[in-house]
Amino acid sequence: MAASLLSIFGGAKRVLTGSAKASELFPQTRPDVDGEDCTHDCDSCTIKYPRHFKVEETHPLYGNIKPWSTHVLVATSKSDWVRNVEDEKGSVMEAFGHASKPSNGRLMLSASNMPTPSNRPDYSEPTTILLLPAFTIVENVTPPAVPSLVSKYISRAPTTSDPLSPGLPLPTVIPSSRSAVGDMRARPCPHRAVVLLCSHRTRDARCGQSAPLIKKELERHLRALGLDRDLDDERPGGVGIYFINHVGGHKYSANMMVYRRPDAFGIDDVARAKLPPGQEVRLVKPVEEEEEEKEEEHHQAEGKGEGKAEGKEGEGEGEKKGEKTMKGVVGAAQCIWLARVRPEDCENIVKYTILQGKVVKPDKQLRGGFDRRTGLMSW
């Protein structure tokens, strides 16, 4: 009965809002296009959930998530938090809870296990955030600086509903008169894709159990491709995997969100079933990423005093005099939100979802997300 009611509610909601159907939102794997492997779980997986690990398997998942425009991950150097992360005393998350909301839509706030600059879970020290879908890292963030971060940066950043094209230039330096540690600095995130796993044991023990196991299995498959990245590994390209707090639906653990840059590995349109026998797909670095790497090198050089003088050459369109900016940020093309993920699913999630932006088990695992290439969203 509950499953039927959820299905009816979801269908009615899509009629009223015009949101995309599950079959429309993301490409789905097909054996005639993607090969027979897409129909089989991993047979080399040795990781298993604990015997008592049970999740809800009957409710329809798709479409029952809140819309969001921007998503902030706060580095905390830990993987579990109090029940509501905005109650973490003295933290940047608490400051976001008290700050005015961004002008460009709902902000999703997540604590994460991203490393703090000191590698200690100490809220008295400045920390780092990752802003999505902008794929931008902001450093030297403190609680008093959060209002400036929201008004001067997040409210100007691309959102989940913006067209997939460069937006307004964003500043690389974000001043805050309230901060005692100086300006915040922004730079491009080096990853091609970011995977988020709920590890919030305080909310549900299953999240604390599943996240490390799923991460380990994802890394096993990414390592063979040279795409695995440790928490402090900022080599360009690759896939960052981070733990975050509760995102809703812990009874559908493991929850996974996959943010991908446009054609992140250059193979979105490759039909694996059409390749000659024995031929593997070749990952390609998109032109956009090469440009961002050059820009990141430029910012790092500036930080060492090797860049141009402020207000001179290198100012982007729309810059104020003396204000350094990043060129118009494109950010993520997709966020694919999955649930009920098990270790044996990870091989195909890497192969088809992370690498190609496709969903392998839409009926069982797809909760929703957005695709800025098509303008479609699940809400």
pLDDT grade for 317, boundaries at 50, 70 and 90: very low
Specify whether the CB–CB gap between 136 and 188 falls below 8 A.
yes
CB neighbour list of residue 73: distance below 8 Å, 6 or more residues apart:
110, 111, 112, 114, 129, 130, 131, 132, 196, 242, 244
Q: Give the per-residue pLDDT at 168.
A: 82
Range of weakest confidence among 24-38, 110-124, 286-300, 349-363: 286-300
Give yes or no for residue 127 having a pLDDT over 50. Answer: yes
Q: What average pLDDT does this structure show over 290-310?
A: 53
Residue 318 has pLDDT above 50, yes or no: no
Distances (CA, A) of 3 to 24, 29, 57: 22, 25, 10
Has residue 39 got a pLDDT over 80? yes
State whether residue 243 is helix, strand or coil.
strand
What pLDDT is attached to residue 299? 55
pLDDT at residue 172 greater than cutoff 80: yes
Q: Report the chain's C-alpha Rg in angstroms.
A: 21
Specify whether the CB–CB gap between 76 and 85 falls below 8 A. Answer: no
Reply yes or no: is the peptide bond before residue 20 cis, omega within 30 of 0.
Answer: no
Segment 263-296, tens digit of pLDDT: 999 999 999 999 998 898 999 876 555 555 565 5
> Is the predicted pLDDT of residue 339 greater than 90, yes or no?
yes
Q: How confident is the model at residue 298 (pLDDT cuts 50, 70, 90)?
A: low
